[in-house]
Every structure is written in structure tokens, then in C-alpha cells.
Chain A
Amino acid sequence: MFKIALDKIDELFAALSGNETLYLPIEKSGEIEFYPYEKDAKVRLDALHTVKSAKDLFFPQTENLMNMKLDGKNIQIEEGRHVEDPFVLFGVRACDARSFDVLDKVFLADPVDSYYAARREHGVIVSMACSRPEETCFCNVFGIDATMPEGDVVVWLDTDHLYWEAKTEKGEALTKTVESVLTDSDSKAVEAQIAATKEIMDKLPLKDLDLTRFTEDEMMNIFNDSRWAEMSEHCLGCGTCTFVCPTCQCYDIRDYDTGHGVVRYRCWDSCMYRDFTRMAHGNPRKSQLERFRQRFMHKLVYFPENNDGMFSCVGCGRCLSKCPIHTNIAKVIKTMGVKEHE
């Protein structure tokens, strides 16, 4: 294990961003997102969450797939992707780190999404342990250990030091490039922090959410539950929950007419939008109730059914704090977790 004093942390960032782009939580116009590091950037490692999750780096909100240019009677087709640049993603929390496993199940399954795969290959993940969870956190419900996140490198932050430990080969390689600014350290401080954080985690109000009912056997019972109606009744049909979610992976592919050609791009889609999955014959989910139900059935029932029990929620709590009307997955788990009329 290595460490570096926090007052020298800029040296670490400079070293990390020397050869490749370093993305980390940076505050701009009052909000924190993963932005490329630059000198004088307002780095906010203290923030629990970025607004958008870290999935944006592997599966960006919009990405060009190809450009078609008209030139007289000829059409030129150029590939629009930029996915081969190596980068370091620093400061990913345990929940977001788990979300990559969820996304891998979708994008790395056959047929492999080559855009996503290339970014996964070229990105090194430096995850950061939590020491100050919030009331909206419930990652433990999905078996995530916030004090020991997955990642190529894991870092822990205390009041004056950052502790660094490589976990994978990629992580070892990255460590070599920054070794000169790190010093050796024992793990006492980290162990103490982990113990302290675990005590806090035990006090989280949502730590006991019960997922036992969300199984294949109960699928139709949950699907037909009449309580979806009242839960979805006031859903605004906005895309906030899906766009801040680290595991939502639906996208749309669209063509934009530039006047002298076409740009084909893909962008995040939201199952909350009424044109979601609209086809030539119309839309199979016509009401907000059906769309609302789909989102949670997917995360809690269908996805685990198809992926060895892995839920496609990581308990980051973003939708809990961002939903304009505060209808969210925690409320759904609590309501649907018990049988109707019980």
C-alpha cells in the first residue's frame, strides 16, 4: 500500500494526467461531474456523488457512430468513433464501480458492443472508498462493500492522506507510472477507517430493504400488482431517474440531417419517455403505469433473472435525491417487497 499527503495531491493528478486523460469529480457551475483534469480545476473528492454517474465515460450520453457526407452524387461514409484513447477514471465510488459489472453483462455479451468494449479496455478505474455515506445510500442491500470498492486501483481518503492500493494488473501498471510521487505505507489508517465506516453503514435508514420477493416465481404477481397504479400515478414521465442512473443502459440510434449529410449518433433513451420502444405498429407500453412498471421490473426482476441474480440497481441513491416527485426505487422495493393485501 502507498500513500500521498493531500496537500501534494496535485502532483499525483499531474502524474496521472501526464500520458492520458484523467477524469475525476470536478465542480463546474456549481455541480460535480467527471471532467478531464486540468490545472486549477476545482477537484471535489469529498463529494459523495457526481450528478451523472461514471457510466458516462464508457457509455456516453451521446456518441457519434458515423458521418455520411453528400458530395455531388457520392456519399462518403466516415466512422465517427473516438474510443481508442487511454484514460484514467479516478474517484469512482463502490456503487458506480459495481455498475460497470452490470453494464458489462449487457454490452460485452454477444454481440459485443465494440464502442463500449474499446472504452473498457482503454480505461483504468481508480475507485474510492466511502467514509461518509448519506441517508439515500443502500448499496449494502446489493452486497456492495462501500469501504472496499471494485476497481483496478482502490484509494482511501482520510483527513490528510490518500492511500493507494493496486488490485489488478492494469492497476499495477498505473501504479508504476505514479510511483515516484507515492510513498510506502502500512494499512493501519485504512483499517481504522473501514471499521469506522462500517459502523456508520449500520445506521443507514435503508440498509434493510428486503429483496427476497423479487424472484421469477413472483414475477407475474408483482407484474399484476394493483399498487403500480398509485405508485406511478404522479410520475411526470421525465427522464431524470434514468439519466442519473449508473445502470440504465437503454439507448436510441438517431440520424441528424446536417443539410449536407447525415450524422448517425446514439444517445441514452429513457423508458419513462412515451416514444420508448415505439415501433411501426405503435407502442407496446401506452401508459405511464406500464412504462414506470417496466423500469422497476427490469431492474429488480427481469435483469436478475437473466443474469444469475445480479440486480441492475446498485443503491447509489441518485434517483432518491433527484426525482422531482420523490418516487423512487426504494419506495418500490418497500411496496412490492411485501405481497398485496398482507
Chain B
Amino acid sequence: MQVNETNTVNTEEKEFTPLIVAFCCNWCSYAGADLAGSSRLSYPANVKIIRVPCSCRVNPLFILRAFQRGADGVILCGCHPGDCHYSTGNYYARRRMTLLFSMLDYLGIEKGRTRVEWVSAAEGAKFSATMNDFAATIHKLGPNRKLRDLRCEK
């Protein structure tokens, strides 16, 4: 049993830099991130990208384990619906993530901590804007308290 400080607005918050994990599909979003980089569009350095073969590769455990290891927000990026490299992978991912996010909300976890965005290989600007926006949202929400593993705290 542990005591959860769920509503802490502590003094640390000023220096709080959220840790964000972004699962990006190899074919669209990862290339989109690349384009953002080569076009010198900035996105926060604390967004850690994990490349996956398809958004559909991400199962709910990936999302939960990212939180367990200290993520404050998790975002999944894939090809736009209809543009999946494997034709239909992102359609399945969409259903799964919808249900998972709804379940997290049901358990009382803040809704904004998880997100799905479709980013194509040509959308470097969208990638950068999305990440900046998501980082700002997580910053506002504060550190992840409800879905953390105390053993993993530094």
C-alpha cells in the first residue's frame, strides 16, 4: 500500500519537465518526425520516440509500461486512417486505443495523459505542433501520480 499524492501542486512544479513517450509508426509518423527534424521544426527534447512497425503493434501493455517507467504522457502516432502501410493496422489500433483510454478514464486517470494522432510522412509541421501541444497539456496536468510505480521513481 502506498499513499498517493494525487493532487499535489508542489513547488517542484515550476521545474517540472514532463517525460513523454511517443510511439511512432515506421512508415508515416517516424518519417514525419524525421522531416520535422530536417526542416528544423522544434519539438520538446523530452519527447522520447519509440519506433514501431505499425501503430497496431502497440498493445495496451506498452502504454501502461511507459507510465510505469516514469512517463507523464504517452502518445501514439500512426498513418492516417486509410493510409496504413499494411492497409488496415491503424483501424484496429484506433479501436483498441479508444477502449483503453476510456478504461483509464473510468479508473480515474486523467484523460489528457494519453493521445492518438495521425501524422503522415509529409507532415513534419504537424508532428512538431502535435508534440508541442501535447507537452504543454501534460505540463498543465503535472507529474503522473496516479499511474506510477513507486519503485521506478528516481
Contact = CB atoms under 8 A, between A and B. Distances in A.
Direct A–B touching in the complex (beta carbon < 8 Å)? yes
A258 B70 CA distance: 10
Interface in B87-137: none
Interface in A248-305: 256, 258-260, 263
B152 interface: yes
A44 B119 CA distance: 57
A154 B152 CA distance: 43
Contacts of A259: 69-70, 152
Nearest to B153: A258
B14 interface: no
A259 B149 CA distance: 11
Dominant SS among interface residues on chain B: loop
Nearest to A263: B151
Nearest to B1: A35
A30 to B, nearest CB: 17
Contacts, number: 11
A260 B154 contact: yes
Nearest to A67: B151
A260 B19 CA distance: 15
A256 B151 contact: yes
Interface in B37-77: 69-70
Nearest to A69: B154
A256 B68 CA distance: 12
Contacts of B70: 259
The interface centre, meaning the residue of A256, A258, A263 with most chain B CB atoms within 10 A of its CB, is A258
Nearest to A256: B151
Nearest to B69: A259
B2 to A, nearest CB: 12
Interface string A293-326: 0000000000000000000000000000000000
Contacts of B151: 256, 258, 263
Interface string A199-217: 0000000000000000000
Contacts of A258: 69, 149, 151-152
Which of B69, B151, B152: most chain A CB closer than 10 A? B151
B118 to A, nearest CB: 30
Nearest to B70: A259
A259 B153 CA distance: 9
Nearest to A262: B151
A260 B152 CA distance: 8
Q: Pick the most buried of A256, A259, A263: most chain B CB atoms within 10 A of its CB.
A: A259
Nearest to A35: B1
A174 B151 CA distance: 36
A185 B44 CA distance: 73
A163 B105 CA distance: 50
Interface in A204-239: none
Nearest to A260: B154
A301 B10 CA distance: 58
A45 B151 CA distance: 35
A258 B153 CA distance: 8
Contacts of B152: 258-260
Nearest to B149: A258
Nearest to A64: B151
Interface string B136-154: 0000000000000101101
A96 B110 CA distance: 42
A263 B149 CA distance: 12
B1 to A, nearest CB: 9
B26 to A, nearest CB: 24
B19 to A, nearest CB: 11
A259 B154 CA distance: 9
Nearest to B154: A260
A260 B153 CA distance: 9
Interface string A159-177: 0000000000000000000
A259 B148 CA distance: 13
Instruction: From B69, B70, B152, name the one whose CB has the most chain A CB atoms within 10 angstroms.
Output: B152
A207 B154 CA distance: 55
Nearest to A259: B69
11 contacts: A256-B151, A258-B69, A258-B149, A258-B151, A258-B152, A259-B69, A259-B70, A259-B152, A260-B152, A260-B154, A263-B151
Interface of B: 69-70, 149, 151-152, 154
Given A258-B69, A258-B149, A259-B70, 4 more contacts: A256-B151, A258-B152, A259-B152, A260-B152
The 7 closest A-B CB pairs, nearest first, are A258-B152, A259-B69, A263-B151, A258-B151, A259-B152, A260-B154, A256-B151
